[in-house]
Structures are given as structure tokens and as C-alpha cells.
Amino acid sequence: MSPELTIIGLNRASQLLAEVSGAKAGQIVDVNFTKSRKKIIKFNLEKFNQFIGLNLDVKTVRLYLERLGFKINQNQKSRRKVGTPTETSGLITQNSFLVEAPLLRQDIKLFEDLAEEAIRLHGYNRLKSRPPHIYLHLSGFEDQIVL
């Protein structure tokens, strides 16, 4: 669970105490000096469409992610280098953007996690079932195996 939940819960409890009993809350003292880092993940639409086997547009995918509380950033200047280099490296193009996961979503760490959330809103039942494409190569082994 995120340490950020403590502040949210404390604020809500203070609000309820003020409403019910007329209590007044004091100032918050936070002794947690290590704040949670924002998780920023690069989302590539071409990779996403290949991953799910559909052809969704950028607007639809962005809408799905924004509905779940993710922040979308397509401006390269305000880009932050958080996460692993492979998650945020590369140019931000028309079909790719940076996604900032909410601090409360500790389960979102990879591109595949974002894809799963977008697919969930789009509807699993709308995905087509297809057998995987597998390319087999002949091995360099001899015709006979000696035991």
C-alpha cells in the first residue's frame, strides 16, 4: 500500500470528526521523509495494438487511461526520467506518450500493466482469439542422438 494513503485517510478522519463532533484538527506532522516516486511509463500505441490484436486510436486509449486516473503527458520538454531507461527512452511521437501512474496504484510498473488496464475498459470480450504466430527454425543438431 502507498504511504500516501495515510494522509488521505487522516484528512478524511479529520473532516468526519469536525462534522460530527465539531472538533478542530491541528497541523499535520509527517515524519516520513521518503516520499513515493512517480511512476512514468512510455506508452507506444503501435506496440499496444500489436499486443492486443486490435487497431485502437490514440484518443480512445488516452481516454481509457485518463478515466482510471492516469496522467498523460505528450510534451517532451516536461518529460522526467523516472523508472528504468527502457521505459522512458526514445522520442515522444504522435503514437506514443508518457503515462504517470497514480501514487495509489502500486500495481502499475510496466507497459503491459497499462495495456491491461486499457484492455479492461475496452472489454475483454471484444478481443479476437487467434493462435500465436510461431516461427520454428531447424536446429543445427545431427540426425541421430547418441546416448
Q: Would you write out the chain's pLDDT as a tens digit for each of its 147 residues? A: 677 788 888 899 999 999 999 888 888 888 877 777 788 999 999 999 988 888 999 999 999 999 999 999 876 544 444 444 444 455 567 789 999 999 888 899 999 999 999 999 999 999 888 777 788 877 776 666 666
Q: What is the pLDDT of residue 73?
A: 87
Phi and psi angles of residue 131, each rounded to the nearest 5 degrees, phi first: -70, 150
**108 lies in the same domain as 80:** yes
- Those residues with Cβ within 8 angstroms of residue 83's Cβ, 6 or more apart along the chain or in another chain: 39, 40, 41
Q: 116: domain range? A: 37-126
Q: What is the pLDDT of residue 86?
A: 41
Tally the domains of the chain: 2
Cα separation, 12 vs 27, whole angstroms: 14
Q: What is the pLDDT of residue 85?
A: 42
**55 lies in the same domain as 65:** yes
In a domain, 131, yes or no: no
One-letter amino acid for residue 90 of the chain: G
Q: What is the pLDDT of residue 76?
A: 53
In a domain, 136, yes or no: no
Q: What is the pLDDT of residue 121?
A: 94
Cα separation, 68 vs 63, whole angstroms: 9
Which residues does residue 97 pair with via DSSP β-bridges, in sequence order?
A: 43
**41 lies in the same domain as 27:** no
Q: What is the pLDDT of residue 69?
A: 94
**52 lies in the same domain as 74:** yes
Grid coordinates of 145: 542422438
Phi and psi angles of residue 32, each rounded to the nearest 5 degrees, phi first: -85, 105
